[in-house]
Amino acid sequence: MMQAPWASETYGIAMPDGVHFADGFVYRGLGVHQTYPGSKNGRRKPRWIVPHLGSGHRLCSLIGDAERLTPIVTDLAEAGDWSFEGLDGWRNMFPEARECLLEFASRHRQFVRLRGGQNSENVARLVAEHRG
């Protein structure tokens, strides 16, 4: 479970077949939800997805327990203005978003994985409508 300043919320995420909903935590335009709880013996760590709430599209995935990851993902949320909507909104509101994400991943490389996901403007629009 993520700690403050993250708040519990159900939000839309972009999937190839449309909008799905995830129970997770939100803060400053980003979400985080667990996709794998980790193995019982502790060899495989929990896995998390960090989507941009204004489009539902994944920014990165995280590996580790919530206590360890809370300050790391909070650092990303506080690095800029993630409140934009859609896939291109960052160009006007947060033009350094891409560099910010790359620098974040480099600094926390043992916990962060950048992976391309699907990019659908139609699904991003649907996610924004659900938030609206």
Please state the pTM of the whole predicted model. 0.89
Indicate whether 116 pLDDT > 80. Answer: no
Would you say 111 and 67 are in contact if contact means Cβ atoms under 8 Å apart?
no
Residue 17 lies in a domain: yes
Number of domains in the chain: 1
Residue 68 lies in a domain: yes
> Which residue type is seen at 130?
H
64-84: b (≥16 Cβ within 10 Å) or e: bebeebbebbbebbebbebeb
Residue 73 lies in a domain: yes
Residue 2 lies in a domain: no
| Residue 117 banded pLDDT, cuts 50, 70, 90 | low
State which residues form the domain around 105: 7-131
Q: Which of 34-43, 60-69, 109-118 has the lowest mean pLDDT?
A: 109-118
